[in-house]
Amino acid sequence: EPEVTQTPSHQVTQMGQEVILRCVPISNHLYFYWYRQILGQKVEFLVSFYNNEISEKSEIFDDQFSVERPDGSNFTLKIRSTKLEDSAMYFCASRRDRGQEKLFFGSGTQLSVL
């Protein structure tokens, strides 16, 4: 089965540093998403991306966050100045179209902000 690939699996950064989380969605997919899961809590929607623009974002996704699809295969999440509370597992996901059966999730990047 095709997979969504996320790198790195674990990232450690200092508070205030910029971090970029990388994802390679499934190749024929058109809708891309980032979700976040703080340890022990539920999975929360951050942002959806379609046709090279953000289609929806949550309140969590403030000016410190940005997403980009720079080259037609990668989908990145940038956090400009990380805070301690950004520590979480970040999941990338994709689907072929809005009506497709399921959202394919990557295995996640565990971000630790020290």
Partner 1 sequence: AQKVTQAQTEISVVEKEDVTLDCVYETRDTTYYLFWYKQPPSGELVFLIRRNSFDEQNEISGRYSWNFQKSTSSFNFTITASQVVDSAVYFCALSGVGSSNTGKLIFGQGTTLQVKP
Least distance to partner 1, CB of residue 16, Å: 26
Binding flag, residue 69, partner 1 (CB under 8 A): no
- Residues 84 and 32 sit within 8 Å (Cβ to Cβ): no
Binding flag, residue 65, partner 1 (CB under 8 A): no
Amino acid at 28: N
Closer of 14 and 99 to partner 1 (Cβ): 99
Binding flag, residue 103, partner 1 (CB under 8 A): yes
Residue appearing with tokens 């100045």: 81
Contact range with partner 1 by CB under 8 A, out of 15-23, 47-55, 68-76, 80-88 = 47-55
Please give the Cα distance from 19 to 77 (Å, whole number): 8
* Strand, helix or coil for residue 84: helix
Pairing of strands 109-113, 10-13: parallel
Residues that bind partner 1 (CB under 8 A): 31, 33, 35, 41-45, 48, 50, 55-56, 89, 91, 95, 98-99, 101-108, 110
